Amino acid sequence: MKRILEIALGIVTGIGGFLEAGSLATAVQAGADFRFELIWSIVLGAACLAFLVEMSGRLAAISKHTVADAVRERFGFPFYLVAISVMLLVSFLVLAAEIGGVGLALQLVSGVSYRWWAIPVALVAWLLLWRGTFGLIEKGVSVLGLVTLAFVVGALQLHPPLGDVARGAIPHLPSQDSAHYWFLAVSILGASISPYLFAFYAAGAVEDQWDVSHLRINRVTAGFGMGFGGIVAIGALVLSGLVFHPAGVKVESYEQMPVLLTTSLGSWGFPLFVASLGIACFGAAQEIALTSSYMLAQGLGWQWSENLPPAEDARFSLSYTVMIALATIPALAGVDILKLTNISMVFSAASLPIVVGPMLIIMNDKRYMRDYGNGWFSNTMVALITALAFVLALVSVPLLLKGG
Amino acid sequence: MLLVRDVLDKQLLDRQGHKMGKVDGVVLEYGSAGPPRVLYLEVGAVTLAHRLGARIGRWASRMAQRLAPVHHESYRIPWTRVRGVTLEVTVDEAVEETRVNVLEAWLRQHVVERIPGSRR
Protein backbone atom coordinates (compact mmCIF):
# COMPACT_ATOMS: atom_id res chain seq x y z
CA MET A 1 0.00 0.00 0.00
CA LYS A 2 2.79 2.40 0.98
CA ARG A 3 4.55 1.62 -2.31
CA ILE A 4 1.41 2.28 -4.36
CA LEU A 5 1.01 5.60 -2.60
CA GLU A 6 4.64 6.46 -3.29
CA ILE A 7 4.24 5.61 -6.95
CA ALA A 8 1.05 7.65 -7.19
CA LEU A 9 2.85 10.55 -5.55
CA GLY A 10 5.72 10.17 -8.00
CA ILE A 11 3.37 10.42 -10.96
CA VAL A 12 1.59 13.38 -9.39
CA THR A 13 4.98 15.07 -8.94
CA GLY A 14 5.68 14.69 -12.63
CA ILE A 15 2.32 15.91 -13.85
CA GLY A 16 1.86 18.71 -11.35
CA GLY A 17 5.43 19.93 -11.68
CA PHE A 18 5.80 19.80 -15.45
CA LEU A 19 4.07 22.97 -16.56
CA GLU A 20 5.64 26.36 -15.85
CA ALA A 21 5.85 29.69 -17.61
CA GLY A 22 8.24 28.40 -20.26
CA SER A 23 6.48 25.19 -21.25
CA LEU A 24 3.09 26.94 -21.28
CA ALA A 25 4.19 29.97 -23.29
CA THR A 26 6.17 27.98 -25.86
CA ALA A 27 3.35 25.44 -26.32
CA VAL A 28 0.73 28.15 -26.81
CA GLN A 29 2.90 30.05 -29.31
CA ALA A 30 3.64 26.85 -31.20
CA GLY A 31 -0.06 25.96 -31.42
CA ALA A 32 -1.02 29.43 -32.60
CA ASP A 33 1.65 29.65 -35.30
CA PHE A 34 1.93 26.04 -36.48
CA ARG A 35 -1.26 24.30 -35.28
CA PHE A 36 -0.21 20.75 -34.25
CA GLU A 37 3.04 20.63 -36.21
CA LEU A 38 5.33 21.03 -33.19
CA ILE A 39 3.81 18.41 -30.87
CA TRP A 40 6.82 16.21 -31.59
CA SER A 41 9.13 18.63 -29.82
CA ILE A 42 7.15 18.30 -26.58
CA VAL A 43 7.19 14.50 -26.94
CA LEU A 44 10.94 14.53 -27.58
CA GLY A 45 11.57 16.96 -24.73
CA ALA A 46 9.52 14.96 -22.22
CA ALA A 47 11.26 11.73 -23.28
CA CYS A 48 14.73 13.26 -22.84
CA LEU A 49 13.68 14.69 -19.48
CA ALA A 50 12.39 11.29 -18.35
CA PHE A 51 15.77 9.66 -19.05
CA LEU A 52 17.73 12.43 -17.33
CA VAL A 53 15.44 12.42 -14.31
CA GLU A 54 15.72 8.65 -14.00
CA MET A 55 19.51 8.84 -14.13
CA SER A 56 19.90 11.67 -11.66
CA GLY A 57 17.51 9.89 -9.27
CA ARG A 58 19.47 6.65 -9.61
CA LEU A 59 22.75 8.48 -9.03
CA ALA A 60 21.32 10.01 -5.84
CA ALA A 61 19.79 6.76 -4.58
CA ILE A 62 22.99 4.74 -5.07
CA SER A 63 25.73 7.24 -4.22
CA LYS A 64 23.89 9.84 -2.05
CA HIS A 65 25.50 12.35 -4.37
CA THR A 66 23.82 14.65 -6.85
CA VAL A 67 24.84 15.78 -10.31
CA ALA A 68 26.17 19.06 -8.88
CA ASP A 69 28.28 17.13 -6.32
CA ALA A 70 29.64 14.88 -9.01
CA VAL A 71 30.39 17.69 -11.45
CA ARG A 72 32.64 19.31 -8.86
CA GLU A 73 34.18 16.09 -7.60
CA ARG A 74 34.70 14.40 -10.93
CA PHE A 75 35.54 17.33 -13.20
CA GLY A 76 37.24 19.66 -10.73
CA PHE A 77 36.67 23.19 -9.52
CA PRO A 78 37.37 25.16 -12.72
CA PHE A 79 34.76 23.22 -14.71
CA TYR A 80 32.31 23.43 -11.83
CA LEU A 81 32.79 27.19 -11.73
CA VAL A 82 31.85 27.50 -15.40
CA ALA A 83 28.86 25.17 -14.96
CA ILE A 84 27.54 26.90 -11.83
CA SER A 85 27.93 30.36 -13.38
CA VAL A 86 25.94 29.35 -16.44
CA MET A 87 23.34 27.57 -14.33
CA LEU A 88 22.86 30.50 -11.99
CA LEU A 89 22.47 32.89 -14.90
CA VAL A 90 19.86 30.66 -16.55
CA SER A 91 18.11 30.10 -13.21
CA PHE A 92 17.98 33.84 -12.67
CA LEU A 93 16.29 34.38 -16.05
CA VAL A 94 13.82 31.52 -15.62
CA LEU A 95 13.04 32.49 -12.01
CA ALA A 96 12.39 36.08 -13.10
CA ALA A 97 10.00 34.79 -15.77
CA GLU A 98 8.16 32.61 -13.24
CA ILE A 99 7.78 35.45 -10.74
CA GLY A 100 6.44 37.56 -13.60
CA GLY A 101 4.08 34.74 -14.53
CA VAL A 102 2.56 34.62 -11.05
CA GLY A 103 2.29 38.41 -11.15
CA LEU A 104 0.42 38.24 -14.47
CA ALA A 105 -2.00 35.64 -13.10
CA LEU A 106 -2.74 38.01 -10.22
CA GLN A 107 -3.05 40.92 -12.66
CA LEU A 108 -5.68 38.99 -14.63
CA VAL A 109 -7.76 38.58 -11.46
CA SER A 110 -7.21 41.95 -9.85
CA GLY A 111 -6.56 44.37 -12.69
CA VAL A 112 -3.50 45.59 -10.75
CA SER A 113 -0.32 45.48 -12.87
CA TYR A 114 2.03 42.54 -12.44
CA ARG A 115 4.78 45.02 -11.51
CA TRP A 116 3.03 45.66 -8.20
CA TRP A 117 2.73 41.94 -7.55
CA ALA A 118 6.42 41.12 -8.02
CA ILE A 119 7.47 41.90 -4.44
CA PRO A 120 4.49 40.27 -2.67
CA VAL A 121 4.92 37.15 -4.82
CA ALA A 122 8.64 36.98 -4.10
CA LEU A 123 8.06 37.48 -0.39
CA VAL A 124 5.51 34.67 -0.14
CA ALA A 125 7.72 32.31 -2.18
CA TRP A 126 10.68 33.15 0.04
CA LEU A 127 8.67 32.81 3.26
CA LEU A 128 7.54 29.31 2.29
CA LEU A 129 11.13 28.29 1.64
CA TRP A 130 12.32 29.92 4.86
CA ARG A 131 9.67 28.28 7.04
CA GLY A 132 8.70 25.17 5.07
CA THR A 133 10.28 21.75 4.69
CA PHE A 134 11.23 19.91 1.53
CA GLY A 135 8.21 17.61 1.69
CA LEU A 136 5.81 20.54 2.04
CA ILE A 137 7.24 22.30 -0.98
CA GLU A 138 7.55 19.23 -3.20
CA LYS A 139 4.10 17.83 -2.40
CA GLY A 140 2.40 21.22 -2.28
CA VAL A 141 3.72 22.15 -5.71
CA SER A 142 2.78 18.88 -7.32
CA VAL A 143 -0.68 18.40 -5.79
CA LEU A 144 -1.80 21.97 -6.48
CA GLY A 145 -0.17 21.72 -9.90
CA LEU A 146 -2.73 19.13 -10.92
CA VAL A 147 -5.00 22.08 -11.74
CA THR A 148 -2.98 22.41 -14.97
CA LEU A 149 -4.77 19.26 -16.19
CA ALA A 150 -7.47 21.81 -17.12
CA PHE A 151 -5.54 22.25 -20.41
CA VAL A 152 -5.95 18.57 -21.23
CA VAL A 153 -9.65 18.59 -20.31
CA GLY A 154 -10.12 21.79 -22.29
CA ALA A 155 -8.42 20.34 -25.36
CA LEU A 156 -10.55 17.18 -25.21
CA GLN A 157 -13.74 19.27 -24.86
CA LEU A 158 -13.10 20.76 -28.29
CA HIS A 159 -12.78 17.30 -29.89
CA PRO A 160 -9.47 17.79 -31.69
CA PRO A 161 -8.95 15.70 -34.86
CA LEU A 162 -6.84 12.97 -33.26
CA GLY A 163 -5.28 11.91 -36.55
CA ASP A 164 -3.78 15.38 -36.99
CA VAL A 165 -2.60 15.43 -33.39
CA ALA A 166 -0.88 12.07 -33.86
CA ARG A 167 0.77 13.27 -37.09
CA GLY A 168 2.10 16.29 -35.20
CA ALA A 169 3.86 13.92 -32.81
CA ILE A 170 6.11 12.74 -35.65
CA PRO A 171 9.05 15.09 -36.33
CA HIS A 172 8.82 16.75 -39.72
CA LEU A 173 9.97 19.81 -41.61
CA PRO A 174 7.91 23.00 -41.44
CA SER A 175 5.49 23.98 -44.18
CA GLN A 176 6.45 27.67 -43.89
CA ASP A 177 8.54 30.18 -41.91
CA SER A 178 11.23 27.69 -40.99
CA ALA A 179 13.38 30.03 -38.83
CA HIS A 180 10.45 30.68 -36.54
CA TYR A 181 9.49 26.99 -36.55
CA TRP A 182 12.94 25.89 -35.40
CA PHE A 183 13.12 28.72 -32.92
CA LEU A 184 9.94 27.44 -31.28
CA ALA A 185 11.15 23.84 -31.45
CA VAL A 186 14.35 24.81 -29.62
CA SER A 187 12.39 26.87 -27.07
CA ILE A 188 10.05 23.95 -26.39
CA LEU A 189 12.98 21.58 -25.93
CA GLY A 190 14.69 24.11 -23.68
CA ALA A 191 11.51 24.46 -21.64
CA SER A 192 10.97 20.69 -21.34
CA ILE A 193 14.53 19.56 -20.62
CA SER A 194 15.06 22.07 -17.80
CA PRO A 195 18.28 21.39 -15.92
CA TYR A 196 16.70 22.71 -12.74
CA LEU A 197 14.08 19.94 -12.87
CA PHE A 198 16.48 17.06 -12.58
CA ALA A 199 18.86 18.91 -10.26
CA PHE A 200 15.89 19.51 -7.97
CA TYR A 201 14.77 15.92 -8.31
CA ALA A 202 18.20 14.53 -7.39
CA ALA A 203 18.53 16.84 -4.38
CA GLY A 204 15.06 15.70 -3.35
CA ALA A 205 16.10 12.06 -3.53
CA VAL A 206 18.95 12.84 -1.13
CA GLU A 207 16.63 14.89 1.12
CA ASP A 208 14.24 11.93 1.24
CA GLN A 209 17.16 9.54 1.92
CA TRP A 210 16.58 7.30 -1.06
CA ASP A 211 18.51 4.04 -1.34
CA VAL A 212 18.61 1.01 -3.64
CA SER A 213 15.04 0.10 -2.69
CA HIS A 214 13.82 3.29 -4.38
CA LEU A 215 15.12 2.44 -7.82
CA ARG A 216 11.80 1.11 -9.01
CA ILE A 217 9.75 4.04 -7.82
CA ASN A 218 12.43 6.25 -9.40
CA ARG A 219 11.88 4.60 -12.78
CA VAL A 220 8.11 4.88 -12.52
CA THR A 221 8.22 8.52 -11.43
CA ALA A 222 10.59 9.42 -14.24
CA GLY A 223 8.79 7.49 -16.95
CA PHE A 224 5.14 8.02 -16.15
CA GLY A 225 5.47 11.30 -14.28
CA MET A 226 7.39 13.12 -17.00
CA GLY A 227 5.40 11.34 -19.71
CA PHE A 228 2.05 12.45 -18.33
CA GLY A 229 3.55 15.86 -17.57
CA GLY A 230 4.24 16.27 -21.28
CA ILE A 231 0.56 15.63 -21.96
CA VAL A 232 -0.34 18.81 -20.06
CA ALA A 233 1.90 20.86 -22.37
CA ILE A 234 0.47 19.04 -25.39
CA GLY A 235 -3.00 19.95 -24.11
CA ALA A 236 -2.05 23.62 -24.12
CA LEU A 237 -0.55 23.35 -27.62
CA VAL A 238 -3.61 21.56 -29.04
CA LEU A 239 -5.97 24.10 -27.46
CA SER A 240 -4.00 26.91 -28.98
CA GLY A 241 -3.94 25.11 -32.34
CA LEU A 242 -7.73 24.86 -32.22
CA VAL A 243 -8.53 28.33 -30.87
CA PHE A 244 -5.73 30.67 -31.99
CA HIS A 245 -4.48 29.08 -35.20
CA PRO A 246 -7.72 29.23 -37.26
CA ALA A 247 -8.24 32.85 -36.16
CA GLY A 248 -4.67 33.75 -37.11
CA VAL A 249 -3.97 35.11 -33.61
CA LYS A 250 -0.36 36.10 -32.88
CA VAL A 251 0.47 35.36 -29.25
CA GLU A 252 2.17 38.42 -27.85
CA SER A 253 1.29 38.25 -24.16
CA TYR A 254 -0.01 35.98 -21.43
CA GLU A 255 -3.10 38.16 -21.14
CA GLN A 256 -4.38 36.70 -24.43
CA MET A 257 -4.33 33.15 -23.13
CA PRO A 258 -7.37 32.81 -20.81
CA VAL A 259 -9.57 32.63 -23.90
CA LEU A 260 -8.09 29.18 -24.55
CA LEU A 261 -9.90 27.82 -21.54
CA THR A 262 -13.03 30.01 -21.66
CA THR A 263 -13.70 28.79 -25.21
CA SER A 264 -13.53 25.18 -24.11
CA LEU A 265 -14.65 25.21 -20.48
CA GLY A 266 -17.03 28.18 -20.33
CA SER A 267 -17.21 30.22 -17.15
CA TRP A 268 -14.87 27.82 -15.36
CA GLY A 269 -12.22 28.59 -17.94
CA PHE A 270 -11.03 31.92 -16.58
CA PRO A 271 -10.47 30.89 -12.94
CA LEU A 272 -8.87 27.63 -14.10
CA PHE A 273 -6.48 29.47 -16.40
CA VAL A 274 -5.49 31.96 -13.73
CA ALA A 275 -5.01 29.18 -11.16
CA SER A 276 -2.96 27.10 -13.61
CA LEU A 277 -0.68 29.97 -14.59
CA GLY A 278 -0.30 31.23 -11.04
CA ILE A 279 0.28 27.88 -9.35
CA ALA A 280 2.50 26.44 -12.07
CA CYS A 281 4.75 29.51 -12.07
CA PHE A 282 4.77 29.79 -8.29
CA GLY A 283 5.74 26.14 -7.86
CA ALA A 284 8.45 26.44 -10.48
CA ALA A 285 9.77 29.61 -8.82
CA GLN A 286 10.20 27.79 -5.52
CA GLU A 287 11.88 24.82 -7.12
CA ILE A 288 14.28 26.99 -9.14
CA ALA A 289 15.25 29.15 -6.16
CA LEU A 290 15.85 26.08 -4.05
CA THR A 291 17.80 24.39 -6.82
CA SER A 292 20.21 27.35 -7.02
CA SER A 293 20.97 26.82 -3.35
CA TYR A 294 21.36 23.08 -3.84
CA MET A 295 23.81 23.47 -6.71
CA LEU A 296 25.95 25.97 -4.82
CA ALA A 297 25.95 24.06 -1.54
CA GLN A 298 26.65 20.70 -3.16
CA GLY A 299 29.46 21.98 -5.32
CA LEU A 300 31.14 23.88 -2.50
CA GLY A 301 30.60 21.28 0.21
CA TRP A 302 28.38 23.35 2.50
CA GLN A 303 25.89 21.98 4.95
CA TRP A 304 22.57 21.83 3.10
CA SER A 305 19.01 20.71 3.58
CA GLU A 306 15.67 22.40 3.15
CA ASN A 307 14.63 20.41 6.23
CA LEU A 308 17.10 22.24 8.50
CA PRO A 309 16.15 25.56 10.06
CA PRO A 310 17.87 28.40 8.12
CA ALA A 311 20.22 29.17 11.02
CA GLU A 312 21.81 25.75 10.60
CA ASP A 313 22.61 26.20 6.94
CA ALA A 314 23.06 29.95 6.65
CA ARG A 315 24.85 30.03 3.30
CA PHE A 316 22.30 27.65 1.79
CA SER A 317 19.28 29.66 2.91
CA LEU A 318 20.86 33.01 2.03
CA SER A 319 21.59 31.74 -1.49
CA TYR A 320 17.93 31.29 -2.36
CA THR A 321 17.11 34.51 -0.54
CA VAL A 322 19.54 36.49 -2.74
CA MET A 323 18.42 34.63 -5.85
CA ILE A 324 14.76 35.48 -5.27
CA ALA A 325 15.59 39.10 -4.47
CA LEU A 326 17.56 39.52 -7.71
CA ALA A 327 14.98 37.73 -9.85
CA THR A 328 12.25 40.09 -8.61
CA ILE A 329 13.92 43.02 -10.36
CA PRO A 330 12.93 42.32 -14.00
CA ALA A 331 9.20 42.05 -13.20
CA LEU A 332 9.44 45.05 -10.90
CA ALA A 333 11.05 47.02 -13.73
CA GLY A 334 8.19 46.13 -16.04
CA VAL A 335 10.06 43.85 -18.44
CA ASP A 336 7.83 42.10 -20.99
CA ILE A 337 7.31 38.74 -19.29
CA LEU A 338 6.54 36.72 -22.42
CA LYS A 339 9.73 37.98 -24.11
CA LEU A 340 11.69 37.25 -20.94
CA THR A 341 10.21 33.74 -20.89
CA ASN A 342 11.21 33.11 -24.50
CA ILE A 343 14.74 34.37 -23.97
CA SER A 344 15.17 32.33 -20.79
CA MET A 345 14.04 29.14 -22.58
CA VAL A 346 16.58 29.69 -25.34
CA PHE A 347 19.38 30.20 -22.81
CA SER A 348 18.17 27.16 -20.92
CA ALA A 349 18.52 25.13 -24.13
CA ALA A 350 21.95 26.63 -24.74
CA SER A 351 23.15 25.62 -21.25
CA LEU A 352 22.20 21.96 -21.63
CA PRO A 353 25.53 20.47 -22.78
CA ILE A 354 27.28 21.62 -19.60
CA VAL A 355 24.87 19.65 -17.44
CA VAL A 356 23.96 16.74 -19.67
CA GLY A 357 27.45 16.01 -21.04
CA PRO A 358 28.98 15.13 -17.64
CA MET A 359 26.14 12.63 -17.00
CA LEU A 360 27.60 10.41 -19.71
CA ILE A 361 30.73 9.94 -17.60
CA ILE A 362 29.26 10.08 -14.11
CA MET A 363 26.61 7.46 -14.84
CA ASN A 364 29.37 5.04 -15.84
CA ASP A 365 31.67 5.74 -12.89
CA LYS A 366 31.76 2.66 -10.66
CA ARG A 367 32.75 4.66 -7.60
CA TYR A 368 29.44 6.47 -7.75
CA MET A 369 27.21 3.88 -9.36
CA ARG A 370 28.71 0.58 -8.16
CA ASP A 371 26.80 -2.07 -10.16
CA TYR A 372 23.91 0.23 -10.99
CA GLY A 373 25.61 2.22 -13.74
CA ASN A 374 24.09 2.82 -17.13
CA GLY A 375 23.48 -0.10 -19.43
CA TRP A 376 23.94 0.17 -23.18
CA PHE A 377 20.41 1.49 -23.64
CA SER A 378 20.70 4.33 -21.13
CA ASN A 379 24.15 5.14 -22.46
CA THR A 380 22.86 5.35 -26.00
CA MET A 381 20.04 7.60 -24.84
CA VAL A 382 22.26 9.93 -22.84
CA ALA A 383 24.71 10.10 -25.75
CA LEU A 384 21.88 11.04 -28.10
CA ILE A 385 20.57 13.60 -25.62
CA THR A 386 24.06 15.07 -25.28
CA ALA A 387 24.35 15.32 -29.06
CA LEU A 388 20.94 16.98 -29.19
CA ALA A 389 22.04 19.33 -26.40
CA PHE A 390 25.09 20.41 -28.39
CA VAL A 391 22.97 21.04 -31.46
CA LEU A 392 20.52 23.07 -29.38
CA ALA A 393 23.34 25.08 -27.84
CA LEU A 394 24.79 25.89 -31.26
CA VAL A 395 21.55 26.87 -32.98
CA SER A 396 19.68 28.50 -30.09
CA VAL A 397 21.14 31.99 -30.08
CA PRO A 398 21.24 32.43 -33.90
CA LEU A 399 17.62 31.24 -34.03
CA LEU A 400 16.64 33.67 -31.27
CA LEU A 401 18.03 36.49 -33.41
CA LYS A 402 16.50 35.24 -36.64
CA GLY A 403 13.21 33.58 -35.70
CA GLY A 404 12.36 34.93 -32.25
CA MET B 1 44.85 5.90 -4.61
CA LEU B 2 45.31 8.82 -6.98
CA LEU B 3 45.47 12.26 -5.40
CA VAL B 4 43.70 14.20 -8.10
CA ARG B 5 41.16 11.51 -8.92
CA ASP B 6 40.32 10.37 -5.40
CA VAL B 7 41.10 13.28 -3.08
CA LEU B 8 41.05 16.67 -4.82
CA ASP B 9 37.57 18.28 -4.96
CA LYS B 10 35.97 15.55 -2.83
CA GLN B 11 33.56 16.25 0.00
CA LEU B 12 35.29 16.69 3.35
CA LEU B 13 33.62 15.25 6.42
CA ASP B 14 34.74 15.74 10.00
CA ARG B 15 34.82 12.87 12.50
CA GLN B 16 31.13 13.37 13.28
CA GLY B 17 30.26 13.22 9.58
CA HIS B 18 29.53 16.95 9.34
CA LYS B 19 30.23 18.58 6.00
CA MET B 20 33.27 20.85 6.07
CA GLY B 21 33.67 21.96 2.47
CA LYS B 22 35.42 20.25 -0.41
CA VAL B 23 39.12 19.46 -0.70
CA ASP B 24 40.09 22.68 -2.48
CA GLY B 25 43.79 21.93 -2.72
CA VAL B 26 46.50 19.40 -1.90
CA VAL B 27 49.93 20.58 -0.71
CA LEU B 28 52.93 18.46 -1.70
CA GLU B 29 56.54 18.64 -0.59
CA TYR B 30 59.26 17.92 -3.11
CA GLY B 31 62.38 16.66 -1.34
CA SER B 32 65.79 16.50 -3.00
CA ALA B 33 65.52 12.73 -3.05
CA GLY B 34 62.60 10.34 -3.19
CA PRO B 35 59.03 10.90 -4.33
CA PRO B 36 57.03 13.99 -3.29
CA ARG B 37 55.15 13.74 0.00
CA VAL B 38 51.61 14.89 0.72
CA LEU B 39 51.65 17.40 3.56
CA TYR B 40 48.22 19.01 3.78
CA LEU B 41 44.74 19.27 2.36
CA GLU B 42 43.61 22.86 1.93
CA VAL B 43 40.12 24.31 2.30
CA GLY B 44 39.50 27.89 1.28
CA ALA B 45 38.59 30.35 -1.43
CA VAL B 46 42.17 31.57 -1.85
CA THR B 47 43.28 28.06 -2.81
CA LEU B 48 40.42 27.84 -5.31
CA ALA B 49 41.40 31.18 -6.81
CA HIS B 50 44.99 29.99 -7.29
CA ARG B 51 43.66 27.05 -9.30
CA LEU B 52 42.11 29.45 -11.78
CA GLY B 53 45.39 31.16 -12.57
CA ALA B 54 48.34 32.85 -10.90
CA ARG B 55 46.97 36.37 -11.31
CA ILE B 56 43.51 35.60 -9.95
CA GLY B 57 45.26 33.77 -7.11
CA ARG B 58 47.46 36.75 -6.19
CA TRP B 59 44.47 39.07 -6.36
CA ALA B 60 42.45 36.76 -4.08
CA SER B 61 45.35 36.56 -1.61
CA ARG B 62 45.51 40.36 -1.40
CA MET B 63 41.73 40.61 -0.95
CA ALA B 64 41.80 37.97 1.78
CA GLN B 65 44.60 39.81 3.58
CA ARG B 66 42.55 42.98 3.61
CA LEU B 67 39.35 41.28 4.75
CA ALA B 68 40.86 38.97 7.36
CA PRO B 69 44.27 40.23 8.48
CA VAL B 70 44.81 37.31 10.89
CA HIS B 71 43.55 34.20 9.13
CA HIS B 72 43.76 34.99 5.47
CA GLU B 73 45.32 31.73 4.35
CA SER B 74 43.35 28.65 3.48
CA TYR B 75 42.76 26.21 6.30
CA ARG B 76 45.21 23.30 6.29
CA ILE B 77 44.49 19.78 7.42
CA PRO B 78 47.63 17.64 7.91
CA TRP B 79 47.55 14.49 5.79
CA THR B 80 48.14 12.45 8.95
CA ARG B 81 44.63 13.39 10.07
CA VAL B 82 42.97 11.82 7.06
CA ARG B 83 40.98 8.83 8.30
CA GLY B 84 39.31 7.54 5.19
CA VAL B 85 39.10 8.16 1.47
CA THR B 86 35.94 6.84 -0.17
CA LEU B 87 33.58 9.02 -2.21
CA GLU B 88 34.15 11.41 0.71
CA VAL B 89 37.34 12.30 2.53
CA THR B 90 36.93 11.87 6.28
CA VAL B 91 39.35 13.70 8.58
CA ASP B 92 39.98 13.55 12.30
CA GLU B 93 38.82 17.08 13.08
CA ALA B 94 35.71 18.71 14.51
CA VAL B 95 34.34 21.30 12.13
CA GLU B 96 33.28 23.69 14.89
CA GLU B 97 36.86 23.82 16.21
CA THR B 98 38.24 24.80 12.82
CA ARG B 99 37.83 28.05 10.91
CA VAL B 100 36.50 26.55 7.67
CA ASN B 101 33.03 27.73 8.61
CA VAL B 102 33.86 31.33 9.59
CA LEU B 103 31.75 32.72 6.77
CA GLU B 104 28.86 30.41 7.62
CA ALA B 105 29.06 31.45 11.28
CA TRP B 106 29.37 35.14 10.44
CA LEU B 107 26.36 35.03 8.11
CA ARG B 108 24.36 33.08 10.68
CA GLN B 109 25.08 35.55 13.42
CA HIS B 110 24.85 38.79 11.48
CA VAL B 111 22.23 38.05 8.87
CA VAL B 112 20.20 34.87 9.21
CA GLU B 113 19.48 35.07 12.94
CA ARG B 114 18.25 38.63 12.53
CA ILE B 115 15.50 37.43 10.21
CA PRO B 116 12.48 36.04 12.10
CA GLY B 117 11.90 32.32 11.78
CA SER B 118 15.54 31.38 11.29
CA ARG B 119 15.21 28.70 13.96
CA ARG B 120 11.72 27.71 12.79
The reply to whether A214 touches chain B by the CB within 8 Å rule is no
Q: What is the mean pLDDT of residues A58-73?
A: 96
Distance CA A381, CA A102 (A): 35
- B36-90 tens-digit pLDDT: 889 999 999 999 999 999 999 999 999 989 988 787 889 999 999 999 999 999 9
B9–A309 C-beta distance less than 8 A: no
pLDDT on residue A204: 92
**Dihedral, CA atoms, A334, A338, A339, A343, nearest 10 degrees?**
120
Distance CA A106, CA A191 (A): 23
pLDDT on residue A404: 66
Distance CA B41, CA B12 (A): 10
B11 CA: distance to closest CA in chain A (Å)? 6
- Which chain A residue has the Cα nearest residue B11? A301
- A317-364 tens-digit pLDDT: 999 999 999 999 999 999 999 999 999 999 999 999 998 999 999 999
Distance CA A303, CA A338 (A): 37
Stronger pLDDT, A371 or A141, i.e. the higher one: A371
pLDDT on residue B73: 86
Residues facing A19 on adjacent strands: none
Residues on chain B touching A318 (C-beta within 8 angstroms): 107, 111-112
- With a cut of 80, say whether residue A10 has pLDDT above it: no
Mutate to test the interface with B, among A59, A62, A73 (most CBs of B within 10 A): A73
Candidates A127, A309, A315; nearest CB to B104: A315
- With a cut of 70, say whether residue A28 has pLDDT above it: yes
Residues on chain A touching B11 (C-beta within 8 angstroms): 69, 73, 301
- A168-223 tens-digit pLDDT: 999 988 888 889 999 999 999 999 998 888 899 999 999 999 999 999 889 988 98
- A225-264 tens-digit pLDDT: 888 889 999 999 999 999 999 999 999 999 999 999 999 9
The reply to whether A72 touches chain B by the CB within 8 Å rule is yes
B120–A300 C-beta distance less than 8 A: no
pLDDT on residue A5: 80
- With a cut of 90, say whether residue A265 has pLDDT above it: yes
A314–B104 C-beta distance less than 8 A: yes
Percent of chain A with pLDDT over 90: 84
**For A117-131, A248-262, A390-404, which range has the lowest pLDDT when averaged over its residues?**
A390-404
B79 CA: distance to closest CA in chain A (Å)? 19
The model's pTM: 0.95
Residues on chain B touching A128 (C-beta within 8 angstroms): none
pLDDT on residue A39: 97
State chain B's mean pLDDT as an integer.
92
